Structure 1
Amino acid sequence: MFRSCKMLKAIFLSLVVASMAVKDDVLNVCMEGKHHKKQPGVEGDLHKQCEPWKDWACCTVNTSTEAHKDESYLYNFNWNHCGMMTEKCKRHFIQDTCFYECSPNLGPWIQKADASWRNERIIDVPLCKEDCEEWWNDCQNDLTCKENWHKGWNWTSGINKCPVGYPCQKFTDVFPTPQSLCEKIWSGSYKHTTYKRGSGQCLQMWFETGKNPNPNVTKYYAEKMGLLGVAYTPRISIFIHFFLASLSLLLT
């Protein structure tokens, strides 16, 4: 009987730990990407635009440095595929890269990815209205040839070039609105919202160094999506059934 009680206690503790782990997975997680760390942690000194995440990041110092280069080893992606991108426009793409590589607050929007270079991606991350508008405003006079930057490039040279039949155009011709820019450029990774910064209902792609405003927003959406409750978590449901089955066997 004593051994049975110890076994039940062990099973119960496993259930509790698993429940906590699921919550951590949603609210504090690094996606399985090409350069992401396994777990978020303190970095101390991230580079320039990535600095706001230094207290708790999914990126390394080296990744943050590479994020600022025109053709970095991260993805060999060339921002200047239609001539030199202006600095004010490029700043947003660097912030976008830092957000993607460094943020531990994207859990509710992480999904499996069918790609050779990553196992997971983000879908429909709700960005604040200002983030999309400022990005669009600062890039509207720059040039590009594609609305979906995830795929369809000519990679024969090792870096992305415009494919045949895709002429360079102003950003405003390719992306007529801030919404089209945010939602189309990375094939649905981001969702344009009407919520403003500080509303508690949108994520900021970038913020001044200091307190990260995004964890509370992530928690809000995780609760809204039913990702924090045990009843809604298949992994925990399995543990509950296992616990009850074990209890039944031990009591018979």
Structure 2
Amino acid sequence: MAAGPMLLVLLVLLAAGAVLPARDTLLNICMDAKHHKSKPGPEGKLHDQCSPWKDNACCTANTSSEAHRDESNLYNFNWNHCGVMPPKCKRHFIQDTCLYECSPNLGPWIDQADSSWRRERILHVPLCQEDCEQWWEDCRDAVTCKENWHKGWNWATGRNRCPWGSMCRPFSEVFPRPKDLCEKIWSHSYRYTTARRGSGRCIQMWFDPAQGNPNVVVAKYYSWKKRSSPDGMEDLAPESDRAVRALPCSVLVLLPLALVLLPEGLWIPWMEVPVSVS
């Protein structure tokens, strides 16, 4: 076989190797964070509200159990920093923790995190309207002293306490609308939407496992949307990083050599598509 055709075959194989592994890098994955497993998989038994993910989870049974404790060892975080949180409110925070720790369907919203305890976080996950509004309704009479629970606490005792000078106020004052609660409390980890449960366009914080996991379809839709929408290109940095990590070593080693050996004037259509390896 002549050098030209051989090189063309090599380049086609390299292109296939570069594209195919990256296609699903946003699906069925665990973020690189403090308690997450490296890969999702079945767990024999997850505790209570984390149980819907037992067939395919990013959390362990121990993590799911700790998620239900008032002063969990996961992050030494105390829900009762302004008095006892009502059970109907706490239920939503446990579901929130289970979704964050256990779900393998948050890939399209994984972002880089500048933190000593995690390398990745979630950003702008589209919550279903019912989930966000019920969370707010059940917590409106609970009390807190902060709008953003990610930072600014007094950790002098090893547990989060209200910062000096802050006042404990009802959730309904700190978060006047459901949108305020869902978007502000965890530094915009979530995004309030008007999409309804079952629409395939929003993440459910909890679901009935007997009906299957509805978030699988949602993750597939937003993964496709990120890849197909030019307007979303500026948001693809985390995806690009994961895509590069997924590339076979042979692709990374041979691609520069193939480009050097490419005969002058030979045009290959896929080379017009920019590939980011930064």
Q: TM-score, normalised by structure 2?
A: 0.80
Query: Where do 4+ consecutive residues of structure 1 move more than 6 Å?
Result: 4-11
Deviation track 1:143-169 (CA, whole Å, cap 9, x = no partner) reads 000010000000000000001111110
- Structure 1 segment 57-72 matched on structure 2, within 5 A: 57-72=57-72
Q: Go from structure 1 to structure 2 and tell me whether the alpha carbon gap of 1:157 and 1:5 turns closer, same or farther (over 3 Å shift).
A: farther
The equivalent of 2:224 in structure 1 is: 223
CA contact (8 A) 2:154 2:162 kept: yes
Give the Cα–Cα distance (whole angstroms) in 2 for the partners of residues 13 and 219 of structure 1.
Answer: 26
State the Cα deviation string for residues 19-46 of structure 1 (Å, max 9, x = none): 3432332011110110000011111311
1:145-164 superposed matches below 5 A:
145-164=145-164
- In 1, the alpha carbon distance for the partners of 2:18 and 2:56 equals 23
1:7, 1:58 → 2: CA distance? 42
Task: Kindly provide the CA deviation profile for residues 151-197 of structure 1, in whole angstroms up to 9, marking residues without a partner as x.
Answer: 00000000000011111100100011110000000010000000100
The AA in structure 2 aligned to 1:19 is V
Conservation of the 8 A alpha-carbon contact between 2:43 and 2:56: yes
Question: Which amino acid in structure 2 is aligned with residue 194 of structure 1?
Answer: T
Kept after mapping to 1: 8 A contact 2:30/2:38: yes
Report the equivalent of 2:215: 214
The 8 Å contact of residues 15 and 240 in structure 1, kept in 2 or not, is answered as no
Aligned residues: 250
Which amino acid counterpart does residue 246 of structure 1 have in structure 2? A
Q: Which residue of 1 aligns with 2:27?
A: 27
TM-score norm. by structure 1 comes to: 0.88
- Alpha-carbon separation, structure 2, partners of 1:14 and 1:68: 48
SS of the residue 1:151 aligns to: coil
| Map of 1:246 onto structure 2 | 258
Cα offset for 1:72? 1.3
> Counterpart of 2:125?
125
Distance 1:136 1:101 in 2: 21
SS in structure 2 of the partner of residue 26 of structure 1? coil
Does the residue aligned with 1:111 lie in a helix, a strand or coil? strand
Aligned-partner Cα distance in 2 for 1:77–1:116: 17
Q: Which residue of 2 aligns with 1:73?
A: 73
CA-atom RMSD in angstroms = 3.1
Check whether the contact 1:43–1:56 (CA below 8 A) recurs between aligned residues.
Answer: yes
Instruction: Give the direction of change, closer, same or farther, for the CA distance of 1:33–1:8 in structure 2 (3 Å limit).
Output: farther
Query: Unpaired runs of 5+ in structure 1?
Result: none
